[in-house]
Amino acid sequence: MTTLTTGALATEVLETTLLAVEDLTRRLTLLALDAVQHPDHAPRMRALLLELDDAVVRCEGDQGIYVPLLLEP
């Protein structure tokens, strides 16, 4: 087993994060497609997206990150 350095840890965290985001994207897309086919599921889907957005905003605040500033050219 190789020794992890600070750089390796950062790379591992980035890789894990990207894989998690990819998985979330796929799962949210399937839920959205399901909500399109079953309109009675749409309110729960909207609530889930609002909860997810709130969680991300709280995390940004906890870590001192403000995403809109990062996205401006």
For residues 59 and 42, give the distance between their C-alpha atoms in angstroms, rounded to a whole number.
26
> Directed axis angle between helix 42-63 and helix 6-37, to 10°?
160
For residues 4 and 8, give the distance between their C-alpha atoms in angstroms, rounded to a whole number.
6
pLDDT tens digits for range 36-53: 999 999 999 999 999 998
pTM above 0.85, yes or no: no
pLDDT-derived band at 35, boundaries 50, 70, 90 = very high
pLDDT-derived band at 8, boundaries 50, 70, 90 = confident
Domain spans of the chain, in order of start: 6-71
CB 42 within 8 A of CB 35: yes
